[in-house]
Amino acid sequence: MTDISASLGQLGISEEQVDLLHVATEFCRDKSPVEDVRKLIETDRGYDEKVWSEIAELGWLGIAVPEEFGGSGLGVGEIVPIAEQMGRALMATPFIPATVAGQLLAKAGTERQKEEVLPALAAGERFATTAFGEPGDDMAALGENEAGGFLVSGTTRLVEYAADADLIILAFSHGGSRQLALVERSALPGEALRREAIIDDTRRAYELRLDTFEVAGDAVLDPDKVEEALAHADMVGALLYAADMVGGTFRVVDYTADYLRTRKQFEKVIGSFQALKHPLVDAFIGHERARSHLYAAAHSFGDQGRGEVAVRMAKAQGEKAYAYAADRAIQFHGGFGFTYDCDAGLHRRRAIWNATRYGDARAQKRRLAELLF
């Protein structure tokens, strides 16, 4: 009998994680009250530059960037408590794409790119996002010039926070292979970006359209490292979105419990009705399961084989928990639940967005079955 348990994530927590958890809990609570989240929804940028620079000052954008490039040189798992607490606060922030972009550059950047760009990313002086492309996107190089540069055309969708990023790490196909290049956003033609209407109003995403856009040779990332870096970025993204979902699940259960403790009907506080109480308990249990998986994934992230299994499980369980909790939250708020004013809706919509990023539960589970059975 094959022993699957050896391939599963294991739990552990580091001192750094504990510290970050405590600092992040307070920071996110203070800096992202839901009234502020709602104000930011009305803005184009979609996030608060001041809070963003405070995040940078805390060093959170360089946690897993190597020390030689200005980061703290910790593991990706150490970032998890921050992303989790951001999820709890529904924080509007480019933190996840910026972190993934930093990881991508650290993995596949040339020495020069890393020296020139990474320290600025780690310090939050500049920020980069990623343009990986969705299924069906067709960003491609037409040909290579002598300097190793490309002319790139096509469309890439759902580029997070592209309009405000300083840099975009652009993926495109060339022949049979994938390439990555570091593109200055300011170099894009005026019409290149179009804001897309996405389900999650607390985030921003753009369609990027290029027509024979010139990518210089020294902007291209190390082609030999692209696939490995993309696989790594995939795991980082999945882990951080899982964290966001676990945090969101916590908050939406809490938010609903609050309502169930106060709202009265039939002269009774509605939380005494088991038709509400029991599903909310199930939602809470979903959170507990997902959180256990999340911190196992954080702890096991760097382990060969086990890390991938743990991250995929965390992502799948996070989605399941958040979707259920937020779905029930809408229902349990009655007519108010159907309004834009009720936070349940913000959560449900954020949960759907999060699910789609870096593979939804369906995709994760299919991959897990291949890895495990």
* Choice between 87 and 94, CB closer to another protein: 87
* Choice between 194 and 261, CB closer to another protein: 261
Sign of CA dihedral 313, 317, 319, 320: positive
- Least distance CB 368 / another protein (angstroms): 5
- Least distance CB 129 / another protein (angstroms): 31
* Choice between 133 and 247, CB closer to another protein: 247
Residues 201 and 41: beta-carbon distance below 8 Å: yes
Strands in the chain per DSSP E: 128-131, 140-144, 150-160, 167-174, 177-184, 193-195, 205-215, 264-265, 268-269
Q: Count the Cβ atoms, other than its own, within 10 Å of residue 195.
A: 13
For β-strands 128-131 and 167-174, DSSP reports them as parallel
- Least distance CB 226 / another protein (angstroms): 29
- Least distance CB 319 / another protein (angstroms): 11
Q: How far apart are CA 211 and CA 55, in angstroms?
A: 35
Kindly list the distances between the CA atom of residue 133 and the CA atoms of 24, 98, 116, 214, 225, in Å, as whole numbers in the listed order.
31, 16, 26, 18, 18
Residue 177, CA atoms < 13 Å, CB-side half-sphere: 11
Residues 238 and 80: beta-carbon distance below 8 Å: no
* Choice between 194 and 268, CB closer to another protein: 268
* Choice between 166 and 360, CB closer to another protein: 360
- Least distance CB 10 / another protein (angstroms): 8
* Choice between 11 and 187, CB closer to another protein: 11
Q: Rounded to 5, what percent of the chain is helix, strand, coil?
A: 60, 15, 25
Residues that bind another protein (CB under 8 A): 1-5, 8-9, 11, 13, 17-18, 21-22, 250, 253, 257, 260-261, 268-269, 271-274, 277-278, 280-282, 284-285, 288-293, 295-296, 313, 316-317, 365-366, 368-369, 372-373
- Least distance CB 257 / another protein (angstroms): 5
